[in-house]
Amino acid sequence: MDFVAGAIGGVCGVAVGYPLDTVKVRIQTEPKYTGIWHCVRDTYHRERVWGFYRGLSLPVCTVSLVSSVSFGTYRHCLAHICRLRYGSPDAKPAKADITLSGCASGLVRVFLTSPTEVAKVRLQTQTQAQKQQRRLSASGLLAVPPMCPALPACPEPKYRGPLHCLATVAREEGLRGLYKGSSALLLRDGHSFATYFLSYAVLCEWLSPAGHSQPDVLGVLVAGGCAGVLAWAVATPMDVIKSRLQADGQGQRRYRGLLHCMVTSVQEEGPRVLFKGLVLNCCRAFPVNMVVFVAYEAVLRLTRGLLT
């Protein structure tokens, strides 16, 4: 049931957090934005509400699988560790056991999330690429085809949707294109999911009433929200690099790899670039992970009640 509960929790979380994720990606990949509200106002002014939900359909379809694998891997890995170390899968795990299981969960999910992340980032950022081309056309630096009646209608969007984006990337860049930025994704998710599950377990223990092994709903909300914030606090630097590597396929490529992207970004924009979107990530993480863990725990408790 951990797989089912994780799937339901993940879908609830993506429904809450996707608009802020779009803003986060644009802030990280577009130097022109001076802050969160600048990006929000510009996106709404140019694209209205739909602009915040670009590329949503693929994450909604895949997030249930990814979240299911994440929570299921964590629980099963933890059960195996406890069985090996303490003789029973139901034994109370040590913090090192939770950390190792969380890290394994983060590493496993990368193989599923990388293509989805590539499509999501390309769709979320292609509007900016189009605007740059239009500015070049208007200044005479880019030839405008005579068939185009007006600049705003040209060029056409390169990607028509998530599936078309995946097919285009696979055709133009091969299988490696679908896993672009996966090295940064591995570094991001490994330690962030270790932090995620460890902080949730510790906070649940602290917030559990005397004589109870689990916290009430309010405790789960607080523990889940805080766990999400802590996880994103350690994940943001690699998330910035991941987003830039994955967006680097629309036009001329700038980065040769993870280290080159990191060095170039820091040289051009200073060390602060690695923390672009940190505040937004943390603001988004709290409500999203509140919902994820409440839904996850609710499904587990409901199924336990039905089975007993």
Task: Give the pLDDT score at 220.
Answer: 92
Task: Give the pLDDT score at 234.
Answer: 93
Residues ≥6 apart with Cβ < 8 Å to 105: 69, 70, 71, 73, 74, 77, 193, 197
Residue 143 per-residue DSSP state? P
Give the Å distances, CA to CA, from 42 to 27, 28, 219. Answer: 11, 15, 37
Q: Are 256 and 180 in contact (CB under 8 A)?
A: no
Residue 147, number of CB atoms within 10 A of its CB: 6
Tokens of 95: 């913090």
Task: Give the pLDDT score at 23.
Answer: 84
Instruction: List the pLDDT tens digit at each of the 308 positions of the chain.
Output: 677 777 777 777 777 778 877 887 788 777 778 778 888 888 888 888 877 777 676 666 777 788 888 888 999 999 999 999 998 888 899 999 999 999 999 999 888 888 888 887 888 777 654 554 444 444 454 444 444 444 444 457 778 877 888 898 899 888 888 888 888 889 899 999 999 999 999 999 999 888 777 888 899 999 999 999 999 999 999 988 888 888 776 556 788 888 998 999 999 989 999 998 888 888 888 988 998 898 888 888 888 767 65
Task: Give the pLDDT score at 127.
Answer: 60
Task: Give the pLDDT score at 80.
Answer: 94
Residue 179 per-residue DSSP state? T
Name the H helices within the chain.
2-29, 36-47, 57-86, 95-139, 162-178, 182-207, 217-247, 258-269, 278-307
Residues ≥6 apart with Cβ < 8 Å to 224: 200, 289, 290, 291, 292, 293, 294
Give the Å distances, CA to CA, from 16 to 4, 10, 40, 80, 285. Answer: 19, 10, 16, 33, 10
Residues ≥6 apart with Cβ < 8 Å to 285: 17, 225, 228, 229, 231, 232
Amino acid, single-letter form, for residue 294: V
Tokens of 251: 């036009």
Q: Tell me the DSSP string of 47-90.
A: HTGGGGGTT-HHHHHHHHHHHHHHHHHHHHHHHHHHHHHHS-TT
